[in-house]
A = this chain, B = another copy of it.
Amino acid sequence: MVEGIGIVGGGQLGRMLTEAAHPLGSHVTVLDPTPDAPATKAGAEQLLGGLHDPEAIARLAAATDVVTWEIEHINADALEKLVRDGFNVQPSPTTLKTIQDKLVQKTMLREAGLPVADFLALDTGPSSQAHGQQLREVTQALGGAVIFKTRRGGYDGRGNHVFTGDVDQLDTALGGDWVDLYAEKIIPFEKELSVLAARDVYGNIAVYPTVETVHEDNICHTVVFPANLRPALAERAQDIAHETMRQLEGAGVFAIEMFVTESEVLINEIAPRVHNSGHHTIEANVTSQFEQHIRAITGMPLGSTAPRSPAAAMVNVLGTREEPLNRVGLDRVLAEPDTHPHYYGKSSRPARKIGHITVLGDRSEDVLDRARRAREALVI
């Protein structure tokens, strides 16, 4: 019986996992370097330690029955060693490792026949001067506008650099550090989508309905269900999600982020964890992504991914300046019908995700408007 869950990372995702784990009778311990991590305020215990610290990760495993994570920038080697030592780690650290390196991730997807934008490996080194010719060759080979991406550690758009043709400008943007880049063709997309999916330890797969995501400043700002798609593309997105899940190993929730062009659906990237694009599932679906992940990693059957509401929208609430959390305007938000604010118990600072608001209703345009208005009512 899997009762003690260890989560590497104790932020808002760890917190919402904790909230889902408790009613199912599990205990949660998070590993996080910052004392009083958000998850602890929902009753998780905390081991103080770094997300890359093998010794701390081993302590987490020793104290729990299964180890998982809420963030992908963690020590995958240490997790692979845990598996070799007989510990239960979900999903597979090998899959985590594949996903951590975007070039390896894209290569895996392309080899599996899944649709991704054209990309090329770069043989980068310590100085920009050596690369002018190479960059021009890569750009030409990809036949269009190109973005250079950091292979590892990128997050919310950090590590992505659009190439304007000016090598010096790119060098400045990179701070002179050219290691671990690859090149990707820029796709002029119409929409961004996300499909959440889960696998249990027996191999069963459950896929959530496709949602539309709108990124602002590369952060997932709004999510709308249902996605407004032509039927062929809607079916394609769900098929891609199923096929992608067959390529990934281990139990748990994954988020498969996609681009839609006029005629096709491409995978942008995969998050090997619960995801910002699934927060609406707390109210809008029979089983939330957080409960689904807990079910999956503890050996329980998956729950229904069916929607409970014809439409739902989620907006992130971002901090604007350094200050303690305030709730000015919350009364106005709570006066709106079927509107569900979630604070994460964090103090405010610029662009920090301090909460989200989910709105349920009958039509996607309507819930999105209402969610945005609710966010504007808060004085952060």
Q: Which residues of A contact B (CB under 8 A)?
A: 1, 3, 19, 22-25, 40-43, 286, 295, 299-301, 303-304, 308-309, 325-328, 330-331, 334-335, 337-338, 340-343, 345, 355
Question: Given A3-B327, A43-B43, A22–B345 Cβ distance below 8 Å?
Answer: yes
- Smallest CB separation, A340 vs chain B (Å): 8
B301 in contact with A334 (CB, 8 Å): yes
Other-chain residue from B25, B42, B334, B341 in contact with A343 (beta carbon distance below 8 A): B25
Compute how far the CA of A1 lies from the CA of B334 in the bound complex, rounded to whole angstroms. Answer: 14
Bound Cα distance from A197 to B342, whole angstroms: 24
Given contacts A24-B327, A41-B43, A43-B43, 11 further A-B contacts (CB under 8 A): A1-B326, A19-B22, A22-B42, A22-B345, A23-B341, A23-B342, A24-B343, A40-B43, A42-B42, A301-B331, A304-B337
A327 to B41, CA, bound (A): 25
Q: How many copies does the complex hold?
A: 2
Instruction: Report the nearest B residue to A340, measured CB to CB.
Output: B23
Closest to A299 in B: B331
Say yes or no: A327 contacts B1, CB within 8 Å. yes
List chain B residues, Cβ under 8 A from A330: 24-25, 300
B286 near A338: Cβ-Cβ < 8 Å: yes
Select from chain B the residue with minimum beta-carbon distance to A23. B342
Q: Which residues on B sit within 8 Å (CB–CB) of A334? A: 24, 295, 300-301, 303
Instruction: State the CA gap A22–B42 with chains docked (Å).
Output: 7
Q: Please give the distance in Å from A208's CB to the nearest CB on chain B.
A: 16
**How many Å lie between the Cα of A24 and that of B23 in the bound state?**
19
- 7 closest residue pairs by CB, A with B: A25-B343, A43-B43, A23-B342, A301-B335, A42-B43, A25-B327, A300-B334
Q: Give CA–CA (A331, B302) in the complex, Å.
A: 10
* Residues in chain B near residue A327, CB distance under 8 A: 1, 3, 24-25
Find chain B residues with CB under 8 A from A308 CB: 308-309
Inter-chain contacts of A19 with B (CB < 8 A): 19, 22, 42
- State the Cβ distance, A35 to closest chain B Cβ, in Å: 15
* B contact residues around A22 at 8 Å (CB): 19, 41-42, 343, 345
A300→B340 CA distance, assembly (Å): 13
Q: With A1-B326, A326-B1, A338-B286 in contact, is A331–B24 under 8 Å at CB?
A: no
Minimum CB–CB distance for A328 against chain B, Å:
7
Contact, CB under 8 Å: A325 / B42: no
Measured CB to CB, the nearest residue on chain B to A39 is B43
Which residues of the other chain, B, contact A326 by a CB distance below 8 angstroms?
A: 1
Contacts of A286 in B (CB 8 A): 337-338
Bound state CA distance, A334 and B206, in angstroms?
Answer: 14
- Chain A to chain B contacts (Cβ below 8 Å), 19 pairs: A1-B326, A1-B328, A19-B19, A19-B22, A19-B42, A22-B41, A23-B341, A23-B342, A24-B330, A24-B334, A25-B325, A41-B43, A42-B43, A43-B43, A286-B338, A301-B331, A301-B334, A304-B337, A308-B308
Q: Can you name the residue of chain B whose Cβ is closest to the Cβ of A40? A: B43
Is there contact, CB below 8 Å, between B341 and A24? yes
In the complex, the chain B residue whose C-beta lies closest to that of A331 is: B300
CB distance from A11 to the nearest CB of B (A): 14
Give every chain B residue within 8 A of A300 (Cβ-Cβ).
330-331, 334
Residues of B within 8 A of A335 (CB): 301
Chain B residues within 8 Å of A340, by CB:
23
How far is the CB of A192 from the nearest CB of chain B, in Å? 26
Query: Nearest-CB distance from A133 to chain B (Å)?
Result: 54
